Structure 1
Amino acid sequence: MDTQYDPGSLTWNNLHTLNEEHMYCYCGKDRNLTEVSLQCSGCLNWFHAKCTKISIDTNIPIFTNYKFTCKWCNNSSSESFKRIQAGWKEIGGCAIANLMLQQHMTESKAHKGDSIYSSAHAKKLPIFQYYFNKNEHLRPFVDKNWSSLCTERSRTATWWATLGSCLYSTKDLFVAKDENNRSASSNFCLVDPNLWNIRPGHFGVSHSRTPARAQREAVNNSTRAIYDSGTQDETSSSTITHPSSSKRQLTPFRSSSEQPGTSNSQAQSNRSNTVIALMEASSSSITEFGQSGEQNNLRHGFKYLPCQADKLFPYIQYRNSELPPYGLRLSKEDASLSVWISGDQLTSTTDFGFSMARANCPVKEGKWFFEVFIDRGGEGKMDGKDGAHVRVGWARREGNRNSPVGSDAYSYGFRDLTGQKVHQSRPTQYGEPFKTGDVIGLYISLPQLKKAVSDYQPKSPKRHRIPILFKGDTIFEYKDFKPTHQMNQLLELPEKKKEKKYWWQQQQKEQKPTHLQPEIPILPGSKIIVYKNGICQGIAFENLYSFLPTIDKYTNDDDLTEDDGSLGYYPAVSMYRGGTCTLNFGPHFRYPPPPDPELDLAINKPTMSSLSKTSVSKSLLSKQSSSSSSSSSSLNPHKKSTGIRKWRPMSERYMEYITEDVLYDLVDEIELWDWMLSQKKKVIPTKRPAIVEMSDGSLKKRKQEGTSRQEINDNEVSGFPVTKWDGSSYNKF
């Protein structure tokens, strides 16, 4: 190693950004905030850009979206440097950091390279407390230094709005000058304003201003890791990936009873190592959240899904297109605009009032199960304000996305703070409350439609859809199902009774006697069962309302009255003011239910006293080091049923749903082909996606150049230009 000092003898701080000797790089000289320095991903030492042989095109001294390896750590004895696409947290954080440095240099009348900005004077340098506005400061700065801050990111017309939303929602990184009136147009500063702490990956880690909350989250993470390691299903010995991050992998912990020759003290040590590994992985992994699809609210009464042109379908010409990540996940196309969803689309959160997100696949028949990890929820009031909350459950297509699960007759929910079950906005005492660190299991049983509905006749789905262009993407505009008059009637207040006055009847004026409750078709024998950390809470709901469309005197001509393939019950979660949860659709679960949950429940009916006892035994579990077998028995004292598993993980539903969708496309193609033969049509309508005009939300038809007016008039109903169809094309098909 050709150097004037021993890099291994340096004394570094915890973040590895400063050392007491003030020696860095190959040259062994001090580093300066106003000059570009790069941290090696191998040895974590810092190197002056001017001392390296790489070319860096940047006009700003502080940026974090790169990976650099010095020649000491590189096997080829040469340096490597690669720019990485920055997230909006990095873009906003680096922009504010550079503006803070510029502001201090202006006020101090300092120049580039002045000794006041060297690491030797880091303790003397005051902590900067400068606030910057998105429109006045950040927008022009980012626009000017786009290539340095936003490597490989396309500059959209509304990038500044996305940046403002990121500043507003990321409270653990950015603090507003007036937190009581925080908005995207507020003036922002860094929560951690010490510029010497900035390093690659710095803005991917939470910088919470409330140590108590950070400590509480660390305890919850460690408790969750203990449960993970102690209650993993013995049948699964492979490494299981944590649902909230594809980068986070843990080897299941095996207890001393499973490892011959391993003492209890060694098992406790292994368990502690598992906890440490999870906490380190949590701090190093970056969970990027993105807003749900803004096309969700283009037109009321419609839904929007991605599609693509396909030459294999010459008649319908467009088919549904599945976007990554592939698999069962939360649907950005079926979530409230207030919901933020992670990159793997399994974790969701919001900073506003209750907002709902549903999965991308429904269930119509059978027995299904999934889990929800409560990353943050069940908080009471803090400083006079409501804390974070999460509701979990099942919801239908017609359910309101801008309200919590269980707020209407189309969804069934379970509350965190009280443990109540909720349906039609009416809470009922049910089970134990849940909070951060808990795992909620949701089981649903739906009967076969042929047996449950007397006049049920399977039919080919009728999908009313057209392709449109929205911001360069081709999407289908579907007519969606609307809440019916009968279901809305269920939300009306019941007749007031003197002997029993519910909360929803308080402060209500005297009403006339209401009509009888409307008769809504149900699914006989259907039920929902909820589990908390493997403990059955009992049957939450029975005889669920049927999801099949109904026709009555209030049905309009333009209402959907036939299944379009999207009806059923969807896994659903709703969050409130920072509530965060991660969904696990299987096939591996932390607390899988018994093989036959309904039979097990019939054998062991839980009571509130037994639930309270198991919660006490669970709290003692975190203080004891016992084997996984004894841990699982203490978590659930009831005797579980044995036999063949009768339920299925929700992950198995995904390929079935995709297969059904492809089959529906084939049916649509054949039906259109058959109709054209019966009508002796000699033209094929060539569909061109309509363009969505965002100014008023209307649709604008784009006509193909060179098409005659007569050809357009031949298909005046659809508004699409047409092309001639001859026998050779038919024979080829």
Structure 2
Amino acid sequence: MCPVPTYPAPTSPVPASSIPQKRGLEDDHQPAVSSPLNPDFKPSKLPDDAPLARERATRAKKESLKKRESKGGSLAAESSTRSTPDPKAPNSIKHKKKGNAPAPMRYKLPPPKATDFDPPTGPIPIQAHTKTAPDGSEIEFNEMTEHVYNKRGFHYTHCIADPAFPSSLYYRQSEAGPFGPRLSFEDTSTYMFMDESGKHVTTDKGFRMAKANLAIRQGSWYWECKITSGIPKRKRSEAGVGQQSANGHVRMGWARREATLDAPVGFDAYSYGIRDARGQKLHMSRPKDFFPPGEEIQEGDVIGLEINLPSEALHRKVVEGHYNPAVDLADDEPPGIETADIIRDRVPIRHKGHLYFEQIDYHAVKELEELMNPSPVISSQGGIGGLGQEPGPTHPSPSLRTLPHSSIKIYKNGELIGSPFTGLLAFLPPASSPIIQNGAREGLDDGMLGYYPAVSVFRGGAAEVNFGPNFWYPPPGYGMSTDVAMTGSDQPAESNLNIVRPVSDRYDEQIVEDIVHDIVDEVDFWIQDGCVSGKGARNGVLPITTGLGGGVLGSEIKELVQDDE
């Protein structure tokens, strides 16, 4: 039986006359931001007749109306209608003590089939063609079939029925082979060909993108991309630098969840890429020179990509508007001490005999679309929302806030070329928002937001990824013992965010996180049901006709139909 909490008896209110009154001058001279001398500073409430108060109230009301009109659903009121959610709102991303976070959405599901308890399987490969790598080896590329793609506003992860999870209606997250860090079969564009290991990728179409099956959220991480078909070295003098290659092209970089898969990495504001022709850097489709003049990326070259992100604690300060550049000079927050609440609103679906969790995905926001393609009308009115500021850590719009101490470094065949990108855009909510539709709740982090290793190929271009730990060209200092590096420190070795780690390590961490989140969800639902296990869901269960995909669950789990167009 669950313990029944007790509360102290209410006390009589303190007479207003006994409360000390502030002098008027104190309000006039209060600091605009917090500082080490007043860490608990809270801005005083402005009077109702203050011009600034009226301006803010009008702006918030106008934005709320627009969002309500665009949502138009019964659940629109559940979503935040502010650019920065109200800290008092139940769905706010503001960090709360465990137990106060919103619970995941819960659906009444039909009993699992016997086959739902079988381990998930990967896609079925159908041989397409072979390519000869620069070293003479043959690479067999396959068309991966019988699996679902992340598109049309939904994100998919494998799941399995498990009798150890009765309160969450038996389903938990799982993985399908080949196990380990690789390119994701679900998080890739159609018309892509891969080998069975998920390490080689190519296409015969225009630019398409494939992302890895893991996300980087904090720390320093490294991976490599080898060009197996692209600009030939033997024809460089004939074709000229940057000329069209008959063997296709390759671009590589880092991409967020929102980055479109039917375009090259670096196409929009959600990805940062390097192109093989001229070795240029790309962000928002704006190529800029980066490699030394006359140098480009050719067949056989290995490009190392290192990303550096601040701790999630500092990241949350930025997106919640608490970051103060005069105070937060260093990223000295101990990672792992205080973690964010991970809320995963998802429902199991079936696709060609495979079970997946379906989640509403995050989408491109208007602020970053405007940043990529500025509107003359909006620009003439002073920029986005009248702000008219470049992206930065303290930008008024969370989507346009950048991360201090963040950067991307590029290596070519083991030689450091430089850092083409610094001040990467933040990705934690509210910087990222779900697609507006029934079932979407703003301000929630599902644990899979972050920067993904990404490769895009063009008309025969092909690449091989290496996520470690055995690299072709390890970065400087790689392999140094973390125990030695942290000698004399009270923090565990893995908490040092400045040590460059192979992306392969992140795969293991991500599996552990999924297991922990599944257990937390199971316990949450078990408590909602009065701490009685296996008796079925009672509290907070949505109707049987409700689903994230808008389908009807009925007596069977919804069958997802997805074409390849």
TM-score range, shorter chain: 0.5 to 0.7
Cα contact 2:203–2:459 (8 A) shared by 1: yes
How far is the alpha carbon of 1:578 from its aligned partner? Answer: 0.7
How far is the alpha carbon of 1:655 from its aligned partner? Answer: 0.8
How far is the alpha carbon of 1:553 from its aligned partner? Answer: 11
Match of 1:429 among 284, 289, 309: 289
Q: Deviations over 1:312-368 (max 9, x none)?
A: 111111111111111111000100012212100011111101100001111111111
Residue 346 in 1 paired to residue 189 in 2?
no
Match of 1:312 among 164, 170, 183: 164
Residue 446 in 1 paired to residue 309 in 2?
yes
Residue 540 in 1 paired to residue 420 in 2?
yes
How far is the alpha carbon of 1:377 from its aligned partner? Answer: 1.5
Cα contact 2:230–2:298 (8 A) shared by 1: yes
How far is the alpha carbon of 1:487 from its aligned partner? Answer: 1.4
Cα contact 2:361–2:435 (8 A) shared by 1: no
Match of 2:369 among 464, 488, 494: 488
Residue 458 in 1 paired to residue 321 in 2?
no
Match of 1:590 among 467, 472, 485: 472
Distance 2:316 2:430 in 1: 12
Distance 2:161 2:301 in 1: 44
Q: What is the root-mean-square deviation in Å for CA atoms of aligned residues?
A: 3.9
How far is the alpha carbon of 1:676 from its aligned partner? Answer: 1.5
Q: Structure 1 stretches of 5 or more lacking a match?
A: 1-158, 171-204, 207-213, 222-278, 496-508, 598-643, 692-696, 705-717, 720-733
Match of 2:255 among 376, 383, 395: 395
Distance 2:407 2:303 in 1: 16
Equivalent residue runs for 1:676-715 within 5 Å: 676-677=529-530, 683-684=536-537, 699-703=551-555
Equivalent residue runs for 1:350-369 within 5 Å: 350-369=203-222
Aligned to 2:143: 290
Aligned to 2:508: 655
How far is the alpha carbon of 1:449 from its aligned partner? Answer: 2.0
| DSSP-derived class of the 1:670 partner | helix
Aligned to 1:419: 279
Code of the residue aligned with 1:673 in structure 2: it is: W
Relative to the length of structure 1, the TM-score reads 0.46
| DSSP-derived class of the 1:669 partner | helix
Q: Structure 2 stretches of 5 or more lacking a match?
A: 1-123, 233-238, 323-337, 480-496, 559-565
Code of the residue aligned with 1:594 in structure 2: it is: P
Aligned to 2:20: none
Residues 1:656 and 1:570: Cα distance change in structure 2 (over 3 Å): same
Residues 1:312 and 1:680: Cα distance change in structure 2 (over 3 Å): closer
Cα contact 2:315–2:428 (8 A) shared by 1: no
| DSSP-derived class of the 2:313 partner | helix
Identity, % of aligned pairs? 38
Aligned to 1:302: 154
Cα contact 1:349–1:579 (8 A) shared by 2: yes
Distance 2:533 2:470 in 1: 54
How far is the alpha carbon of 1:543 from its aligned partner? Answer: 1.0
Distance 1:547 1:490 in 2: 16
Residue 327 in 1 paired to residue 180 in 2?
yes
Q: Deviations over 1:265-300 (max 9, x none)?
A: xxxxxxxxxxxxxx4xx25xx624233665216x62
Cα contact 1:531–1:537 (8 A) shared by 2: yes
Please identify, of 543-552 and 663-672, the stretch whose mean Cα deviation from structure 2 is larger. Answer: 543-552
Code of the residue aligned with 1:350 in structure 2: it is: T
Equivalent residue runs for 1:67-466 within 5 Å: 170=129, 220-221=134-135, 279=136, 282-283=137-138, 287-291=140-144, 294-296=147-149, 300-316=152-168, 317-378=170-231, 387-431=247-291, 432-454=295-317, 455=320, 458-466=339-347
| DSSP-derived class of the 2:314 partner | helix
Please identify, of 542-551 and 552-561, the stretch whose mean Cα deviation from structure 2 is larger. Answer: 552-561
How far is the alpha carbon of 1:458 from its aligned partner? Answer: 3.1
Aligned to 2:78: none
Code of the residue aligned with 1:585 in structure 2: it is: F
Q: Identify the structure with bigger relative contact order (alpha carbons < 8 Å, sequence gap 6+).
A: 2
Larger Rg over CA atoms: 1
Match of 2:405 among 525, 528, 534: 525
How far is the alpha carbon of 1:453 from its aligned partner? Answer: 3.6
Q: Deviations over 1:688-732 (max 9, x none)?
A: xx99xxxxx97343427xxxxxxxxxxxxx99xxxxxxxxxxxxx
Code of the residue aligned with 1:574 in structure 2: it is: S
| DSSP-derived class of the 1:699 partner | coil
Residues 1:290 and 1:448: Cα distance change in structure 2 (over 3 Å): same
Code of the residue aligned with 2:417 in structure 1: it is: Q
Distance 1:551 1:383 in 2: 38
Cα contact 1:481–1:559 (8 A) shared by 2: no
Distance 1:647 1:680 in 2: 44
Residues 1:665 and 1:533: Cα distance change in structure 2 (over 3 Å): same
Residues 1:445 and 1:574: Cα distance change in structure 2 (over 3 Å): same
Match of 2:446 among 564, 588, 592: 564
Residues 1:337 and 1:513: Cα distance change in structure 2 (over 3 Å): same
Cα contact 1:358–1:571 (8 A) shared by 2: yes
Code of the residue aligned with 1:445 in structure 2: it is: N
Distance 1:666 1:322 in 2: 16
Distance 1:554 1:306 in 2: 20
Distance 2:369 2:353 in 1: 38
Residues 1:521 and 1:487: Cα distance change in structure 2 (over 3 Å): same
Match of 1:471 among 344, 349, 352: 352
How far is the alpha carbon of 1:484 from its aligned partner? Answer: 1.2
Cα contact 1:388–1:576 (8 A) shared by 2: yes
Distance 1:702 1:534 in 2: 56
Which is richer in helix?
Answer: 1
Distance 2:283 2:195 in 1: 28
How far is the alpha carbon of 1:552 from its aligned partner? Answer: 10
Q: Deviations over 1:39-74 (max 9, x none)?
A: xxxxxxxxxxxxxxxxxxxxxxxxxxxxxxxxxxxx
Aligned to 1:25: none
Cα contact 1:485–1:554 (8 A) shared by 2: no
Distance 1:700 1:469 in 2: 13
Q: Deviations over 1:503-531 (max 9, x none)?
A: xxxxxx9x957622564111101110000
Cα contact 2:166–2:533 (8 A) shared by 1: no
Relative to the length of structure 2, the TM-score reads 0.59
Distance 2:434 2:353 in 1: 39
Cα contact 1:445–1:526 (8 A) shared by 2: yes
| DSSP-derived class of the 2:277 partner | coil
Residues 1:357 and 1:383: Cα distance change in structure 2 (over 3 Å): closer
| DSSP-derived class of the 2:357 partner | strand
Distance 2:304 2:401 in 1: 27
Distance 1:512 1:377 in 2: 43
